[in-house]
Structure 1
Amino acid sequence: MIRSVLSLKPKAGQSQELVRFFEVRKIPERALASPGCLGVEVQNLLPDGEEVLVTALWASVESYETWLCSVGRHEDGVQMKPLLAEGDDAVGPARLYEVARFATHQSSSVPR
C-alpha cells in the first residue's frame, strides 16, 4: 500500500474555504471512485489552519498515477489557485510513502 501526502498553504484566513473547495468539487469522492483508492483525508492544521494536508491510501503506485491523470484533476488545480498563498511553496511536492506496518481496531465501535 502507498500513502500520498500533499501539503497546501492557503491564503491567510482561507483554510476553511480551501477545505470546502474539496467538498464542493467532491475531490475525495472522485478519488475514491478511482481504482485502487482505499481512503482519503483532508486535514486542517490546528489551531489556525496555516496548512491543509491531503492524504490518501492507495493499493499501488500505479493506482495513484491513474488518479493523477484522471478527468478534472487539472481543473481542480486551476480553480484552487485563488485560495492558495503566493509563492512556490503554496503547493508542496506530492510525497509517496510505502505503508510498512499499520494497525486498526477490529471492532467498528471504539470506546470513548
Structure 2
Amino acid sequence: MIRSVLSLRPKPGQSQDLVRFFESRKIPERALASPGCLGVEVQNLLPDGAEVLVTALWASVESYQTWLESAGRHEDGVQMQPLLAEGNGAVAPARLYEVARLATHQNTSVSR
C-alpha cells in the first residue's frame, strides 16, 4: 500500500475555503471512485490553517498514477490557484510513502 501526501499553502484566511473547494469539486469522492483508492483525508493545520494536507491510501503506485492522469485533475489545479498563497511552495511536490504497517477500526468513520 502507498500513502500519498500533498501539502498546500492557502492564502491567509483561505484554508476553510480551500477545504470547501475539495468538497464542492467532490475531489475525495472522485479519488475513491478511482481503482485502487482506499481512503482520502483533507486536513487543516491547527490552530491557524496555514497548511492544508491531503493524504490518500492507495493499493499501489500504479493506482495513484491512474488517479493523477484522471479526467478533471488538471482542471482542479487550475481552479484551486486563486485560493493558494503566492510564490513557490504553495503546492509542495506530492510525496509517496510505502505503508509498512496499518492498524484501523473497521466501519469507523470520522468527519467534521
Q: TM-score, normalising length from structure 1?
A: 0.94
For 2:49, the aligned partner's letter is G
For 1:8, the aligned partner's letter is L
Shift of 1:105: 2.7
Partner SS, residue 78 of structure 1: helix
What stretches of structure 1 move > 2 A for 4+ residues in a row?
A: 105-109
Cα distance change on mapping 1:23 and 1:103 into 2, 3 Å: same
Q: Using the aligned pairs only, state the percent identity.
A: 86
Partner SS, residue 105 of structure 1: coil
Query: Take 1:54 and 1:94, find their aligned partners in 2: how far apart are those partners?
Result: 9
Query: Take 2:18 and 2:74, find their aligned partners in 1: how far apart are those partners?
Result: 16
Q: Which structure 2 segments of 5+ residues have no match?
A: none
Report how many aligned residue pairs link the two structures: 109
State which structure, 1 or 2, has the greater radius of gyration over its C-alpha atoms. Answer: 1
Shift of 1:103: 1.2
Partner SS, residue 42 of structure 1: strand
Which residue number corresponds to residue 41 of structure 1? 41
Q: TM-score, normalising length from structure 2?
A: 0.94
- Aligned-residue RMSD, C-alpha: 1.4
